């Protein structure tokens, strides 16, 4: 595939696109300095896609049996989860709203006992704040956090502060960034002592001084960059820079000071006397009052609303590199939903539009933000000027039985009409991802106006399955049951691709049976690819 290689020394740098298959040696001259204004486009080819290894029939049959056994065990386990009715009864016993607790229990999956045990441990009058705690953590935390961790953070929080603006999100919230969620408040309170904690609360700069005097930074030892826990940093007195920031936020929150990692730069900042201040750990901080503003806008011609880290990123220049700013998952900030306060400097806006087949149409817009400046930038995803190639030609008039409770008729296509056909295994995660992708983009998918036909092999149809199990299906959806895989074998022969056992298989075919899109096996983003194909983007 293709790479963009970057080299730097000091503030000088150079870069070059490299096609690995055709290049042996690359020379990069360090002649560039940060760009005040520049635009470039790159077409990035993915690595060669290799066909999966063939598996002998006897092995495949044994593997299928094991997978079916695995599915039955998982299904039996999931059926032990509390129902909505049971959850409402539980909430009623606590004197709380059933809907609010049901949302949390649903997200917690098999960890529901930890969530319920935590709520049962909280006095009735404090339950609204306890629910706010559960609602502010990530969904992942609800699925794997232990009861004692939640109790540690809740019981060591000053409930009299619960009504303050940042009390839940930046004080009670146990998650700082991408660290493992652990208990640390009681440990820090006992280790520092009440007098020291009071000092930090009154003057957070005292915490910065303590950290600089007691915590040594080791840049190379944490090779994989996995964050240390706050207790780990305190005990060993050695840390990488990111773990030190998390530790500082943890101590500030334990002290009752709202604190967070600043969106974008992930600098440690705390709220005191009505203002957010940065804890710079001895590094030169940006001058007060010199911030700039960046406003990002979505190009209405984009087939979808761009998502940060999926379709675009922002990066700030420093030490010879453009360092990607962090938005989204760790701070729940969408850069497209408001003006972004930025430090003055040189920046880059990188976009990428992945085409079916893997090729990425990317662009880089370099720009400068001066003190006090407000700049507007449009995020435009590059479009392909090439019509999709015909991968195969099929005649989709295969024998199909309607799914129980449904009717089925093959769509009639005319002219340039197209339809999506997907061979699925409803109880497999790989197929579930297809429905999740389509459901998350239902508005855009429905604008395509094409029929969706979901075909289920009879031997892979779960007992009692109905289409109602899936939410937000495309408006023109049909489910059918096929007795054999003759249809898939026809497609396999016509395309020359190995498709056996590679569910889900998704194609787009026109009125003449010409297939212009084919995906098989696990893949994220099928919904987006179908939208781009249908809109010509």
Return per-residue pLDDT of the chain as tens, 537 residues.
Answer: 899 999 999 889 999 999 988 888 899 999 888 999 999 999 999 988 776 676 777 787 788 788 778 888 988 999 999 999 999 999 999 999 899 999 999 999 999 999 999 999 999 999 999 999 999 999 999 999 999 999 999 999 998 887 788 999 999 999 999 899 999 999 999 999 999 999 999 999 999 999 999 999 998 888 888 999 999 999 999 999 999 999 999 999 999 999 999 989 899 999 999 999 999 997 765 444 578 999 999 999 998 899 999 999 999 999 889 999 998 765 678 899 989 999 999 999 999 999 887 889 999 999 999 999 999 999 999 998 888 889 999 998 899 999 988 899 999 998 889 999 999 998 888 898 899 999 999 999 999 999 999 999 998 888 888 888 888 899 999 999 999 889 999 999 999 888 877 899 999 999 999 999 999 988 888 999 999 887 766
**Of 508, 506, 504, 505, which is closest to residue 535 (Cα–Cα)?**
508
Please tell me the predicted confidence (pLDDT) of residue 146.
97
**Cα gap 523→445, rounded to integer Å:** 17
pLDDT at 453: 95
- Residues 244 and 215 sit within 8 Å (Cβ to Cβ): yes
pLDDT score at 306: 94
pLDDT for 364 equals 96
Residues in the chain: 537
Q: State residue 284's pLDDT score.
A: 65
What is the CA angle 100-105-108, rounded to 5? Answer: 130
Residue in 174, 231, 238, 173 with CA at minimum distance from that of residue 211? 238
515: tokens are 């297939």
* For residue 504, cis peptide bond before it (omega within 30 degrees of 0): yes
**What is the structure's pLDDT at 225?**
86
- Is residue 380 within 8 Å of 299, Cβ to Cβ? yes
**Which residue in the block uniquely carries the two structure tokens 């999100």?**
169
Closest CA to 67 of 459, 455, 435, 454: 459
* C-alpha span between 533 and 418 (Å, rounded): 11
Asked if 170 and 253 count as a contact pair (C-beta separation under 8 A), the reply is: yes
- Given the structure tokens 């201040």, which residue do they identify? 277
Joined together, the tokens standing for residue 291 give 């911030």
CA distances from 308 to 140, 264, 291, 324, 328 (A): 20, 11, 22, 11, 7
Closest CA to 488 of 478, 503, 477: 503
d(CA 523, CA 225): 27
Report pLDDT for 215. Answer: 96
Q: Is 392 helix (H, G, I), strand (E, B) or coil?
A: strand
Q: Tokens 């239902």, residue?
A: 442
- pTM for the structure as a whole: 0.84
CA dihedral (94, 97, 99, 103) in degrees, to 10, reads: -50
Rg (CA), the chain: 27
pLDDT for position 234: 97
pLDDT of residue 371: 93
What pLDDT, on a 0 to 100 scale, did the predictor assign at position 357? 79
Local structure of residue 456 (DSSP, 8 states): E
Three-state DSSP class for residue 313:
strand
Reported as type and span, the H/E element at residue 270 is strand 268-272
């Amino acid at each position: 595939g293709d790479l963009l290689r970057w080299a730097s020394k000091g503030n000088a740098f150079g870069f070059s696109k490299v096609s690995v298959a055709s290049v042996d040696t690359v020379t990069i001259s360090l002649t560039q300095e940060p760009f005040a204004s520049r635009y470039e486009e790159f077409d990035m080819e993915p690595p060669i896609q290799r066909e999966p290894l063939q598996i002998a029939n006897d092995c495949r049959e044994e593997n299928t049996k094991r997978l079916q056994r695995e599915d039955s065990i998982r299904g039996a386990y999931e059926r032990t989860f509390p129902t909505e009715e049971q959850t409402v009864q539980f909430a009623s016993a606590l004197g709380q709203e059933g809907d609010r607790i049901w949302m949390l229990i649903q997200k917690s999956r098999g960890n529901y006992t930890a969530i319920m045990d935590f709520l049962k441990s909280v006095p009735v009058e404090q339950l609204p704040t306890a629910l706010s705690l559960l609602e502010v953590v990530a969904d992942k935390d609800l699925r794997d956090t232990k009861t004692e961790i939640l109790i540690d953070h809740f019981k060591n929080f000053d409930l009299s502060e619960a009504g303050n603006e940042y009390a839940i999100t930046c004080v009670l919230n146990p998650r700082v960034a991408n660290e493992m969620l652990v208990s640390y408040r009681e440990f820090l309170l006992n280790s520092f002592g009440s007098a020291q904690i009071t000092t930090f609360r009154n003057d957070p700069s005292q915490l910065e001084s303590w950290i600089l005097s007691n915590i040594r930074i080791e840049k190379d030892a944490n090779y994989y960059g996995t964050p240390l826990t706050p207790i780990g940093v305190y005990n060993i007195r050695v840390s990488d820079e990111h773990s030190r920031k998390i530790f500082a936020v943890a101590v500030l929150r334990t002290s009752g000071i709202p604190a967070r990692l600043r969106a974008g730069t992930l600098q440690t900042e705390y709220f005191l006397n009505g203002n957010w201040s940065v804890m710079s750990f001895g590094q030169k901080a940006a001058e007060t009052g010199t911030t700039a503003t960046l406003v990002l806008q979505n190009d209405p011609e984009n087939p979808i609303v761009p998502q940060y880290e999926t379709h675009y990123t922002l990066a700030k220049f420093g030490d010879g590199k453009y360092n990607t700013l962090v938005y989204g998952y760790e701070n729940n900030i969408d850069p497209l939903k408001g003006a972004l306060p930025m430090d003055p400097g040189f920046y880059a806006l990188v976009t990428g539009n992945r085409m079916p087949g893997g090729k990425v149409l990317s662009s880089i817009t370099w720009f400068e933000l001066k003190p006090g400046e407000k700049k507007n930038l449009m995020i435009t995803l590059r479009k392909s000027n090439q019509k999709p190639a015909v991968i195969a030609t099929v005649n989709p008039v295969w024998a199909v039985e309607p799914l129980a409770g449904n009717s089925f008729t093959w769509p009639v296509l005319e002219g340039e009409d197209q339809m999506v056909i997907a061979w699925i295994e409803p109880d497999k995660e790989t197929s579930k991802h297809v429905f999740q992708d389509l459901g998350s983009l239902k508005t855009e998918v429905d604008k395509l106006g094409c029929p969706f036909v979901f075909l289920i092999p009879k031997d892979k149809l779960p007992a009692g399955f109905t289409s109602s199990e899936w939410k937000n299906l495309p408006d023109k959806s049909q489910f059918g049951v096929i007795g054999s895989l003759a249809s898939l074998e026809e497609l396999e022969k016509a395309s020359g691709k190995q498709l056996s056992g590679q569910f889900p298989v998704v194609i787009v075919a026109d009125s003449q049976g010409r297939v212009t899109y084919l995906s098989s096996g696990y893949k994220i983003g099928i919904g987006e690819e179908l939208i781009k194909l249908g809109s010509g983007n």
